[in-house]
Structure formats: C-alpha cells, structure tokens
Amino acid sequence: MEWYSGQFMIFFATIDPVSTLALFVGLTARVSARDRRRVAFRSVGYSAAILVAFVLVGQLLLGSLGIRLASFQLAGGIIFFLFGVQMVFGSGAAASSEGPEAEHDIAVFPLAVPSMASPGSILAAVVLTDNREFTVAEQAVSTLLLLAVLGITLVLLLQANRIYSLIGNAGSTLLVRILGLVLAALAVEMVLEAGSELLLEMRAAQ
C-alpha cells in the first residue's frame, strides 16, 4: 500500500490537477459550457497519449542514447525537487503560464503541454516504470495510477467553475504548496536511492 500511495503522490504532484484547474478556469472564462467540456476531454486525452507513450518507449529511447536509468532517476529527482520548490514558492507551471495566442488550441497548449504532460510528469512516467526496478505487473499498476490521476484531473476540469468558486485563490494556493512539499520530500528519496545505486556500480567497476 505504501508503494502505491508513493507512486500516486508523485504522479499527483507532477501532473498537479489543482494548478491545471486554476489555469483551465482562467483560459476558458469566455468559452461556452459545451465547448469547455470539449476542451477538458481533449486536453486530458492528449496528456494521456503523451505520458503513456513515454511509459512505453521512454526507457528504450534512453537506452539508445546510452543513458543509465539510475542517472536519469538522479536527474529526475533533482528536477522533481526543483519543481516542488517552485510549487512551494508559487512559481509553478500554472503561475507562470501565459495565455495562448488566438490561433492555438488551448487543449494542446498550455493545458496538455506543459501543464499536465509537464517535464516532471514525463520524468515520473519513465522513472516509475523502470524495467530493471519493476515487473510488468507493477509497471501496469503505475500506468493505471497515472491514468487515475488524469481521470481525477478530468473530473476537476469538468467541475471547474463550481470547485474554484468554493476553494478560491487562497485554497488553491494552499493545496499547491502542500503538494510541493510532498514532491520535494519524495524527490529526496529518489536522489538518495539513485545515488546509492551509482556508487555501488562505481565500486563494482573498480
């Protein structure tokens, strides 16, 4: 159960449904309710396609580039930590994203990329389905947890106006900062684990 909750929290923190909700409300303020639902479904669908693609081929891509998974995990942990710090201090994706140009599809940019399919969530999708660390069944569970977080995001987007009117700016800001702290703590664990593995490999090579 602890393993499942840890994976879920990493996906939840990196996809960050709360920040996506705030961004979605701002971008679709002048859109009809029907079009708003379409944007919500399309943005989550695009994000799911991108992240699942990285689950399937991300590790093969790294292997073709000669990058060890432990190195990628270490880099990912550092990026996760910086991402968490940004969330804590209020400079995450939703806070820094600007409105798209008129000809852009907001379901693609900035909702799918870089809000949901962010560098952090892409790294999580690759690292948490490491072929060396996890069995096929565990990787399938990780993919399901990823899709579950995207499902939660979709539910939030479909209820965007109602939810945002209840929690307001203060509630949204508080939740984002709490998730940032959780992500930073999980990132430290990833760095320590990857660092230990790299040290063992170096000692074995000597």
First to last CA, the chain: 38
Tokens of 77: 């942990």
pLDDT at 96 over 90: no
Of 15-24, 130-139, 177-186, the least confident: 177-186
pLDDT in tens, 63-87: 788 877 778 778 878 877 887 888 7
pLDDT, residue 179, reads 73
pLDDT, residue 39, reads 95
pTM for this prediction: 0.71
Query: What domains sit in the chain, N to C, each tagged with a CATH number?
Result: 2-205 (1.20.1250)
Q: What is the DSSP string of 5-56?
A: HHHHHHHHHHH-HHHHHHHHHHHTTTS-HHHHHHHHHHHHHHHHHHHHHHHH
Q: What is the band of 100 on the pLDDT scale with cuts at 50, 70, 90? A: very low
- Distance between CA 157 and CA 196 in Å, rounded? 40
- Distance between CA 115 and CA 92 in Å, rounded? 9
- Distance between CA 56 and CA 129 in Å, rounded? 9
pLDDT, residue 167, reads 75
